[in-house]
Amino acid sequence: MRAQKGSGAGRLAALAHSINTRVAREFMLPLSVLLFLSACTEPSPKGEAPPPRPAATGDLLISQLYTSGATEAGGADHYYSDQFIEIVNATGDTLELEGLRIADVYGVSGKINPNTQADSYRESHPDVVVLLTVWEIPFSTLLPGETLLIAQDGGNHRPFSEVDLSSADFEAFVTDSPRDEDSPTVANLESLVYNSGYDWLMTVFGPSVVLLDGETALGELTDTPYGALPTISTDAVLDGVDTVMDGNSLDFKRLPDSVDQGAAWAEGPYTGTALHRLKIDGAWQDSDNSSDDFALGLPAPQRPSDSGGIFGEPMVELGVGTSGWSALEEGAAVELVAGPQGGWHIDTALWFDGFGPDGVTLAYDAVSTDAQALSYVTQANLLSNSVLPAEEGWHRLGDRVVLDIQDPDQIVGAEIILRVSASLDGQSWSDTRQVVVVDEEL
């Protein structure tokens, strides 16, 4: 068994995007070229726009932090791969993000067990932040008011979570880990210092996270129980959010008061709760005190939600593949996959054309040959950057049919029917395949 790790300008932009999509599809251009073409045909404001500038302290803010992990769903009683950090440009200028660094801070977040003691360096080293893992954004600019979405894993996390990160801007892919998955639609951060496990799992009990400028050199603290740890001057911190396990854990703060005078916390691990930065009269609140600046809510990464419309003869074809789409014949064998956090599923892929991709809703499931439900329903809401251009239409990769079983023996060797439906603007299209479940890859 394989282990998985309506203004006129708006209409003009939509038309240009549609034309560029068709050009890219006809000539088999990669997604990056398509995005470049679309950017070139966006209507320009009157006059010459100033060039992007580097971000200063307070320009970029952590607008949403979701690390608690999902509630029980899809047959899993805990799930953490859906963690994400959302960053907002709080200025009226376009900001240059290339070289910006993001890191989690060293130290436990609370009395996780009776013997846990606070171990941060905030009091003994008040002029630096002691870091754990550090990533760098390799490229990007951010327009005023826009957000940047950084995923732990840039894929669709349904049905284990309601979070779909297949359209995230970046993901923290661990190149040396055989268990981490590299999303085909999400760009990778650059790893500068890595002190985590097989994946960048920030503690579900409450991590502290900082945004760092791209100029200040990292230092090093050597006299720690875990060897050398990276450090950075507090002057290099553009924004920081200190989170702890609960309201009784303020002694476990990690960030110096010059970065964050307070702390915030979720409802607990695997509660599906996120921290949202408050807005007052339309402006982002930034008092350098997370106790006052954040409120709890559901994780809700902000992504565009326009409809791509129906422009041709719609078609959908169910297939397989995680890095590329492959046809799935009737009666074919499909591999049962053991989920990294429990459960069993089948990886699916879709080829579709004639509509979307923006605004398309997908739903996958599996039934027996006598139409009995065998799985949870996996949904996906598509955007142009959560699919890959095909020779005709688009390929959607990374979705899965999660089976409602307790043991592989319940399904291996069985004939089942995989189903998918795609909906847009009140219309829907579907495809099915009868397949045989096998367990051949170890």
- pLDDT tens digits for 233-259? 999 999 999 999 999 999 999 999 999
**What does the alpha-carbon distance between residue 371 and residue 251 come to, in Å, rounded to a whole number?**
56
Instruction: Classify domain 310-438 at the CATH class level.
Output: mainly beta
Q: What is the pLDDT at residue 178?
A: 84
Instruction: Classify domain 51-303 at the CATH class level.
Output: mainly beta
Beta-bridged to residue 150, according to DSSP, are: 85, 170
Q: Which residue has the higher pLDDT, 376 or 176?
A: 376
| Best CA proximity match to 58, nearest among 260, 299, 280, 307 | 260
Count other Cβ atoms within 10 Å, centred on residue 363.
17
Q: What is the pLDDT at residue 46?
A: 54
Q: Which residue has the higher pLDDT, 314 or 17?
A: 314
CA distances from 77 to 72, 270, 272, 377 (A): 4, 8, 12, 17
Count other Cβ atoms within 10 Å, centred on residue 78.
14
| Best CA proximity match to 139, nearest among 32, 217, 240 | 32
The DSSP call for residue 264 is: B
Q: What is the pLDDT at residue 45?
A: 52
Q: What is the pLDDT at residue 248?
A: 95
Model pLDDT for residues 317-326, shown as the tens digit of each residue: 999 998 899 9
Strand 101-105 relative to strand 128-136: parallel, antiparallel, unpaired?
A: antiparallel
Average pLDDT, integer, range 379-402: 96
Count other Cβ atoms within 10 Å, centred on residue 82.
26
pLDDT at 32 over 90: no
Model pLDDT for residues 34-55, shown as the tens digit of each residue: 444 444 444 445 567 789 999 9
pLDDT at 27 over 70: no
Model pLDDT for residues 132-154, shown as the tens digit of each residue: 999 999 999 999 999 999 999 99
pLDDT at 17 over 80: no
Q: What is the pLDDT at residue 197?
A: 86
Choose the most confident range, by mean pLDDT, from 197-201, 305-309, 417-421: 417-421
Per the listing, tokens 């065998």 go with 374
pTM: 0.87
